[in-house]
Amino acid sequence: EIRPNEIAESKLVASPGCYPTSIILPLIPILQEGLIDDSSIHVVSMSGTSGAGKKADAALLFAECNESVRPYSVPKHRHLSEIEQELSLAAGNNVTISFTPVLVPVTAGICSIIYATSRDGSSNEDVKRALENKYSEAAFVRLLGESSPPDTKNVTQTNYIDISWSYDERSDRFIFMSAEDNLIKGASGQAIQSFNLMCGFDQTIGLVI
């Protein structure tokens, strides 16, 4: 969605991680338009247990995770550098964020909630325009609109990412929300999407059922 032409001309592509995808896609158009204070970004992301991979770890058994919500890898998750790299490129300066990943008792899916202070009186309309300008032709980005929270049930087993936003006038903060399947849009599906671009295929081949 961000660099399709560069991907199409590449021989090797590093596919983005699951958490980075859920955070980068909502924020890049916003940072490019200067709509938020880029020093004020705080993110809480909730992920299903499959995000930890297939390694044998008692703490990741569903019987252990069920009926439990647990933050982990605080304060520096391994994906944080990737997230800050891409946000910094979009903002045109170094961006540092606070990021808290949370393990929740579902098999697949990520829901990210992103908080950021508005800049120069930016509005919901400004946010809507920035996101629509960037993603109106994006096959797998669905903009749900203002105050329409995404639901992981609507994206699991698909290559879609759903994005919504809201403005909290009381705190002068925007709240961006996204949901995706961590195993597909956050991993294998996105890799296939890049493969399609590299081969000159329609990027949706093999991804729309």
Could you confirm whether 199 is annotated as catalytic?
no
- 141 forms bridges with which residues in the sheet? 161
Q: Nearest-CA neighbor of 80 among 20, 28, 31?
A: 20
Residue 133 to residues 59, 61, 99, 165: CA-CA distances in angstroms?
A: 43, 43, 27, 15
Q: How far apart are CA 133 and CA 208, in angstroms?
A: 23
* Sequence-ordered list of residues with C-beta below 8 angstroms from that of 174, at least 6 positions apart, any chain: 30, 35, 36, 115, 116, 117, 118, 122, 127, 165, 166, 167, 168
- Take residue 58 and report the two structure tokens written for it: 């008692």
- Take residue 138 and report the two structure tokens written for it: 């994006």
List 18, 65, 111, 199, catalytic entry: 18
Contact call for residues 109 and 182 (beta carbons, < 8 A): yes
Q: How far apart are CA 5 and CA 15, in angstroms?
A: 15
Tell me which residues are annotated as active site.
18
